[in-house]
Structure 1
Amino acid sequence: MKLYSYWRSTTSYRVRAALNLKGVTYETVPVDLVAGAQRDVAYRALNPGAGVPTLVLEDGTALTQSMAILDFIEATWPEPRLIPQDALERARVLAVAHTVALDIHPVNNLRVIGQLKSRFGASAEQSQGWMCHWMAEGFAALEAQLTDDHPFAFGTTPDLADLCIAAQVYNARRWGLDLAPYPKTERIETHALSVPAIAAAHPDRQPDADTPV
């Protein structure tokens, strides 16, 4: 099984962490988004959306969109559970995960920044301001959904909400967002990175990282 990913991609980070937690073996195939490798004809045959991640199964089936891939992973390798079976708990976990995946991430990715710069002439400082504004909005919403009852978002072990949060906090640190107003969100990332399987999924530890650790 192959996971096409980019080291700094937060969506790839989520999927790597889930596969690692479930002990699933996979091969990482780097896709250099900065160089435009996602637009290559061969890659677009796998992922028409020209994004990452793409999970290619042993039979050649290609799965795209991180949340759909995560749903597939959960259905195929149910332990340890990342999405609760209880309907109410499931809804709460998905609400937090979707705050990241649907509210924050879509306006904070490479293609959006590219358009801000090329179409509207945004400077590096203005682009950073855009990124931080939308992350601040989203993190404020996360803080309102989280409690101080557990080390992770909803319990003593990581779930889908924690994977999405950890990945987005990485991006927030990269863009210089002040995390002081979001202690619960920051706490979750700290606990997530204490789990070896999640730490191994961190961008800086990927084979295509500019500064691997």
Structure 2
Amino acid sequence: MAHYKLYCIGASGNSYKVALYLNCAGLDWEPVGIDFAGGVQRDADWRGENNAMGEVPVLEVAGTRMSQSGAILTWLAEATGHYAPTPEERYEALRWILFDNHKFTNNYAIHRFQKSFMAQPPHPAVLAFMRTRVEASHAIVEKHLGERPFMLGERPTIADFSLAGYVFYPPEETGFDIAAEYPAIDAWRKRLASLKGWKPPYEMMPFGSDLRITAVSVAPGSSRGQ
């Protein structure tokens, strides 16, 4: 039995952040798929046992389960030492993880969700609005990565794994061609992809790649996960 279990789905970039970290760190882990399309995350028993927030990823270790990708990455770095920021970098890492969850990943994930996983096509104005938000947050990261190889400097840390959540999904799914539109982010992606243990999301978490939701799946109480 693996030391770490990650409850996740292949379509969840927030799950991928943690899966990618675990694999690149060489830790003993296994992905555990959930029936997200079937709405299991809204079930009261599932929430009581796994995550009251109704989200993935959920990391299980030694009988304890924790949620929220940023918190999980921070805990893993402190517990294992892999890809940990130095004490001097700790708050800079936190700053970027918070920016990622609030802006970089959040905007990109919502745009992708609206574009590819809704039962009905979104209103063009909604998608256009989300696109402008993606462009704004990506412009910040593009400029930042144009001046350094990784988010905090010369080596990858949990800040990089946090921002990497959705950048490896295909352009036809996300609606963005990162290679063409954001050369610095693309170069950073390639540096991450050269790490031992890197795999793309649907290979790393081989379930849920055909996720298509129904209207009930976006009812109050449903969630994409963090």
8 Å contact kept, 2:143–2:184: no
Which of 48, 52, 58 aligns to 1:48? It is 52
Give 3-state SS (helix, strand or coil) of 1:56's partner. Answer: strand
Structure 1 residues 40-119: aligned runs within 5 Å: 40-45=43-48, 46-58=50-62, 60-78=63-81, 80-86=82-88, 89-107=89-107, 108-109=109-110, 113=114
Give 3-state SS (helix, strand or coil) of 1:196's partner. Answer: coil
8 Å contact kept, 2:11–2:201: yes
CA distance in structure 2 between the aligned counterparts of 1:52 and 1:11, rounded to whole angstroms? 7
8 Å contact kept, 2:145–2:188: no
CA distance in structure 2 between the aligned counterparts of 1:191 and 1:33, rounded to whole angstroms? 31
| Aligned pairs, number | 199
Structure 1 stretches of 4+ moved >4 Å: 124-128
Task: Verify: 1:193 aligned to 2:193, yes or no.
Answer: yes
Q: Read off the aligned partner of 1:50 and give its amino acid letter.
A: G
Listed one character per residue, the Cα deviations across residues 6-56 of structure 1 (whole Å, up to 9, x for unaligned) are 112111111112222322212211123333221123321111111100111
Structure 1 residues 192-211: aligned runs within 5 Å: 192-197=192-197, 199-200=198-199, 202-205=200-203, 206-210=205-209
8 Å contact kept, 1:128–1:175: no
Instruction: Give the Å deviation of 1:109.
Output: 4.0
State, as a whole percentage, how many aligned pairs show the same letter. 26
Instruction: Give the Å deviation of 1:165.
Output: 2.7
Provide closer, same or farther for how the CA distance between residues 137 and 148 of structure 1 changes in structure 2, counting only shifts above 3 A: same
Using the size of structure 2 for normalisation, the TM-score is 0.74
Using the size of structure 1 for normalisation, the TM-score is 0.78
Listed one character per residue, the Cα deviations across residues 134-183 of structure 1 (whole Å, up to 9, x for unaligned) are 22121012123333343x33344321222123223235833221433422
The gaps in structure 2 that reach 5 residues or longer are 211-226
Which of 24, 33, 37 aligns to 1:34? It is 37
Q: Read off the aligned partner of 2:193 and give its amino acid letter.
A: L
Q: Could you say which structure has the greater relative contact order, defined with CA pairs below 8 angstroms and 6 or more residues apart?
A: 2
CA distance in structure 1 between the aligned counterparts of 2:110 and 2:28, rounded to whole angstroms? 28
CA distance in structure 1 between the aligned counterparts of 2:40 and 2:196, rounded to whole angstroms? 30
Provide closer, same or farther for how the CA distance between residues 162 and 172 of structure 1 changes in structure 2, counting only shifts above 3 A: farther
Which of 3, 8, 27 aligns to 2:6? It is 3
Task: Verify: 1:129 aligned to 2:128, yes or no.
Answer: yes
Instruction: Report the aligned-residue RMSD.
Output: 2.9
CA distance in structure 2 between the aligned counterparts of 1:33 and 1:207, rounded to whole angstroms? 14
- Structure holding more helix per residue: 1
Instruction: Give the Å deviation of 1:209.
Output: 5.0
Give 3-state SS (helix, strand or coil) of 1:132's partner. Answer: helix
Q: Read off the aligned partner of 1:31 and give its amino acid letter.
A: I
The gaps in structure 1 that reach 5 residues or longer are none
8 Å contact kept, 2:16–2:165: yes
CA distance in structure 2 between the aligned counterparts of 1:156 and 1:8, rounded to whole angstroms? 30
1:170 match: 168
